[in-house]
Amino acid sequence: MADKKKLAGIDKAAILFEILGARLAGQLFPNLSDTEIVAVRQHVSKIKNTPFEAKKQVLEEFYFSFMSKKFADESKEATSQPFAFLDGMTEVQLAYLIRSEPTRSVSILLAQVPIEMQGRLLKRLPTEIRTEAMIDLGKIKEVPLEAVLEVAADYREKAKQIPSHAEYQEGGGKAMAGLLGTMDAKEQIQFLDYLSQTDPELAKEVKKHYFIFDNVSLLPDSLLRDVFNSLDLDDIALALKGQPQELADRVLESLPQKKQAMYEPKEGPVSRKQVEAAQKKVVEYILQMDADPENDFSIEEFAEADFID
């Protein structure tokens, strides 16, 4: 069986069973009967001497076929059911998704949900946008299919950034606070502000476990020392870029004298991405302190503290 061009179907199947293992290969061929699987496994011993290049070609052929089918299925779903991702989304999530979209995009999404949901979502929109969206809703049939698919793709990507309702319902405010931490700073603030308006109780619960860099200025000096001593000087300088001088002075004073002498603030423009990355390190350290049972610091207690300037 040296010629790879003459490999029969059972030869190729046996090669895959040998390379992938019977358990995994069996899962990849769900249509094979038990009798056929037994036959393939028995055939494995007969392809032991098949050249490496032939086995490699069989594996590549299978991978290409598998991925082609996968992408074809995904493409078909995106075209035939472009708004399938809306299934299971809550009213709060949908309202957040359309909160700052053009009225045409809003109306296209509204057309995909039940009428009673349309009414509730419209009530959440500002009056001027609500009116325009209702008018556009009546003209949806005039929108080209290409435009609808483009809007659906845009919404699909944005929906991935919204915390899962099921996850934060099961895990409570702490779980949702963790999910918020995976979003960028601007999205975190926007979603939390929106949640405060639509579900104040849940927002209150989330805030007990939620910490952002803006809260750093409220930390006592002892905590500032512990937090910023965990960072290198370059990250400290980046994290403090654009912050009030009062905070920068407090942080600098909390550092050991050797670090104070070596510290150099960031002069000139610095990319927002770099600054936010450094600030995220500060927040992550504080979250680690909160998670450590041996540490006295608690974000929940901090959130409920009554600060006096």
Give pLDDT, residue 72.
Answer: 45
pLDDT digits (tens, 9 = 90+) for 187-222: 777 777 877 887 787 777 777 767 778 778 888 888
Amino acid at site 309? D
Q: Which of 27-41, 86-100, 176-190 has the highest mean pLDDT?
A: 86-100
Nearby residues of 117 by Cβ (< 8 Å), 6 or more positions away: 91, 94
Answer whether residue 68 shows pLDDT above 50: no
The boundaries of the domain holding residue 174 are 165-207
141-145, 181-185, 297-301: range with lowest mean pLDDT:
181-185
Between 258 and 295, name the one with better pLDDT.
258
SS3 of the chain: the string is CCCHHHCCHHHHHHHHHHHHCHHHHHHHCCCCCHHHHHHHHHHHHHHCCCCHHHHHHHHHHHHHHHHHHHHHHHHHHHHHCCCHHHCCCCHHHHHHHCCCCCHHHHHHHHCCCCHHHHHHHHHCCCHHHHHHHHHHHCCHHHCCHHHHHHHHHHHHHHHCCCCCHHHHHHHHHHHHHHHHCCCCHHHHHHHHHHHHHHCHHHHHHHHCCCCCHHHHHHCCHHHHHHHHCCCCHHHHHHHCCCCCHHHHHHHHHHCCHHHHHHCCCCCCCCCHHHHHHHHHHHHHHHHHHHHCCCCCCCHHHHHHCCCCC
pLDDT class for 176, splitting at 50, 70, 90?
Answer: low
Structure tokens that stand for 283 in this block: 């927040």
What's the whole-number mean pLDDT along residues 243-256?
Answer: 89
**CATH for 91:** 1.10.220
Task: Confirm whether 128 is domain-assigned.
Answer: yes
Examine the domain organization and report whether 128 and 93 are in the same domain: yes
Sign of CA dihedral 21, 24, 28, 29: positive
Number of domains observed in the structure of the chain: 4
46-55, 165-174, 212-221, 252-261: range with lowest mean pLDDT:
165-174
Q: What is the pTM of this model?
A: 0.40
pLDDT class for 307, splitting at 50, 70, 90?
Answer: very low
Examine the domain organization and report whether 217 and 200 are in the same domain: no
Give pLDDT, residue 142.
Answer: 74
- Among 80, 95, 120, where does a domain finish? 80
pLDDT class for 173, splitting at 50, 70, 90?
Answer: low
Answer whether residue 167 shows pLDDT above 50: no
**Average pLDDT for the chain:** 75
Examine the domain organization and report whether 203 and 227 are in the same domain: no
pLDDT class for 170, splitting at 50, 70, 90?
Answer: very low
- Among 80, 104, 125, where does a domain finish? 80
Examine the domain organization and report whether 155 and 90 are in the same domain: yes
Task: Confirm whether 309 is domain-assigned.
Answer: no
182-191, 212-221, 238-247: range with lowest mean pLDDT:
182-191
Examine the domain organization and report whether 202 and 269 are in the same domain: no
Examine the domain organization and report whether 169 and 135 are in the same domain: no
Examine the domain organization and report whether 217 and 299 are in the same domain: yes
**CATH for 224:** 1.10.220.30
What's the whole-number mean pLDDT along residues 234-256?
Answer: 90
CA distance 219 to 154: 40
Task: Confirm whether 186 is domain-assigned.
Answer: yes
Examine the domain organization and report whether 115 and 76 are in the same domain: no
CA distance 192 to 184: 12
Examine the domain organization and report whether 154 and 176 are in the same domain: no
Answer whether residue 256 shows pLDDT above 50: yes
Task: Confirm whether 51 is domain-assigned.
Answer: yes
Answer whether residue 1 shows pLDDT above 50: no
Angle among Cα 178, 183, 188 to the nearest 5 degrees reads 85
Answer whether residue 168 shows pLDDT above 70: no
- Among 80, 113, 131, where does a domain finish? 80
CA distances from 45 to 15, 25, 49 (A): 10, 16, 9
Examine the domain organization and report whether 151 and 134 are in the same domain: yes
pLDDT digits (tens, 9 = 90+) for 94-152: 888 888 788 888 888 988 888 888 888 888 887 778 888 888 877 777 777 778 888 88
What's the whole-number mean pLDDT along residues 168-188?
Answer: 62
